């Protein structure tokens, strides 16, 4: 909750007006959604909601019962309304029913007998909840996330039926052509609007890094969002990473895009974001880290400059150039040393300890890749001078193994082809001997 309050304060400061509470890891939100929260947790929610109100951010409580709810069962509907009523009493007027990431089939036999389709059940429970909310307070609003929340035209029969049967005032989330998508434009959003018979709210799955993306740190700027999206959608929400402080970099760039979509310049916004999150003393160091951690659904490769240097080095090796006199080697070494100094600063000198803790696992794997790259290039030089390389080669193999097997991934793995080239050349030499 303290992280959440801090993040909501950041959001309000940068022009956001909505916070959707929907962490799948909250057991009372999803896995054990029927259970009420304890009084201590509700007190935390109360402080969070008040903090949101203080900075002009609407707090939306979402519940995610779809994995085992019985859609036509009055007891389950009562569990949902009990949960929402508890938040209503804390001042919440914005709610969401999330039916995403569930099997597209009924969990209970009674629902299969009662509803002709999955879409009919979803529309029925949403409509029923909307009527209940409006009876409670006319200012209440309801959004929902369908089971099919991504894709392109013509879209599924489920979405068309849902749009036809769902109350027109209920908002529907849409992530774009893919769950995590590189480009969201007005064409696909307008086509989705036709399918569900209303303009959607974009649920942007960047910079989120949950599930299969937990190995990555998404710290680059937002790209690929049409400047005219505001004309084809009702709203736009951003799904942050598990790391709240590090998420502020991408969130800052989103704020710039929202404020001026036509004038938005990702690189300029990114520079300002790095300064805003770390302060001037650490912004340059964070930039070195971030430009080596760009791999995501919207940007590849993960380390474009380092990858270009590695490709130049490999080309020179292929042409049998002497690397000891190569300008590329000098540039490579200077850059690796600069990145290494930067991550040292982030690890031991940065004042923003929350960001330091968020980044630490990726800092450590970056250090391993940098060390392996430096060792690989040094072995070439040692071999050219006729020096003994058995021990340095063994050390390289150990560091390389640690980098490859680290639980986190980073763009500096662009060094891998260079390292493999060193190891392969030594294997060939040994075989020839």
Tell me which residues are annotated as active site: 101
Give the DSSP H or E segment for 328: helix 327-348
Q: Which CA distances in Å does 241 have to 44, 58, 99, 204, 373?
A: 21, 20, 21, 12, 29
Distance CA 376, CA 43 (A): 55
CB 65 within 8 A of CB 102: no
Beta strands at 94-98 and 58-63: parallel, antiparallel or unpaired: parallel
Residue 286, judged by CB atoms within 10 A of its CB (0-12, 13-18, 19+), counts as: buried
145 DSSP 8-state letter = E
The radius of gyration of the chain from alpha carbons, rounded to an integer in Å, stands at 26
Enter the tokens of residue 102.
């569930």
Distance CA 180, CA 176 (A): 8
Give the DSSP H or E segment for 417: helix 416-432
Distance CA 327, CA 329 (A): 5
Which spans in 140-292 are helix H? 157-165, 186-196, 244-259, 266-278, 280-290
In the chain the first and final C-alpha atoms are separated, in Å, by 63
């Amino acid at each position: 909750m303290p992280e959440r309050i801090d993040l909501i304060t950041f959001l309000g400061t940068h022009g956001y007006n909505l916070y959707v509470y929907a962490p799948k890891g909250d057991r009372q939100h999803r896995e054990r959604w029927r259970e009420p929260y304890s009084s201590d947790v509700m007190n935390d929610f109360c402080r969070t909601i008040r903090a949101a109100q203080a900075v002009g951010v609407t707090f939306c409580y979402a519940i995610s019962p779809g994995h085992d709810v019985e859609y036509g069962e009055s007891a389950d509907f009562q569990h949902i309304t009990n949960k929402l009523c508890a938040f209503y009493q804390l001042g919440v007027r914005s709610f969401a029913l999330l039916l995403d990431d569930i099997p597209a089939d009924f969990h209970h036999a009674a629902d299969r007998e009662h509803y002709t389709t999955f879409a009919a059940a979803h529309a029925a429970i949403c409509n029923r909840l909307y009527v209940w909310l409006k009876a409670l307070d006319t200012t209440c609003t309801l959004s929902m996330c369908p089971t099919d929340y991504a894709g392109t035209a013509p879209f599924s029969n489920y979405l068309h039926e849902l749009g036809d049967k769902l109350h027109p005032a209920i908002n529907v989330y849409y992530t774009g052509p893919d769950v995590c998508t590189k480009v969201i434009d007005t064409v696909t959003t307008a086509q989705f609007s036709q399918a569900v018979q209303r303009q959607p709210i974009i649920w942007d799955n960047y910079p989120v890094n949950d599930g299969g993306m937990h190995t990555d740190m998404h710290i680059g700027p937002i790209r690929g969002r049409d400047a005219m999206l505001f004309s084809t959608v009702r709203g736009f929400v951003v799904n942050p990473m598990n790391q709240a402080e590090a998420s502020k970099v991408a969130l800052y760039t989103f704020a710039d895009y929202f404020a001026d979509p036509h004038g938005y310049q990702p690189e300029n916004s990114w520079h300002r974001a790095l300064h805003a999150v770390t302060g001037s003393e650490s912004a340059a160091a964070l930039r070195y880290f971030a430009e080596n951690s760009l791999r995501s659904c919207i940007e590849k490769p993960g380390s474009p400059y380092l990858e270009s240097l590695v490709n130049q080095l490999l080309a020179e090796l292929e042409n049998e150039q002497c690397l000891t006199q190569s300008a590329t080697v000098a540039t490579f070494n200077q850059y690796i040393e600069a990145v290494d100094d930067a991550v040292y600063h982030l690890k031991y000198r940065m004042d923003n300890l929350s960001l330091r803790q968020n980044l630490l696992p990726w800092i450590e794997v970056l250090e391993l890749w940098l060390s392996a790259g430096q060792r690989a290039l040094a072995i070439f030089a040692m071999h050219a001078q006729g020096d003994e390389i058995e021990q340095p080669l063994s050390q390289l193999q150990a560091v390389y193994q640690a980098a490859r097997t680290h639980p986190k991934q980073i763009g500096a793995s662009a060094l891998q082809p260079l390292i493999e080239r060193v190891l392969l050349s030594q294997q060939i030499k040994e075989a020839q001997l």
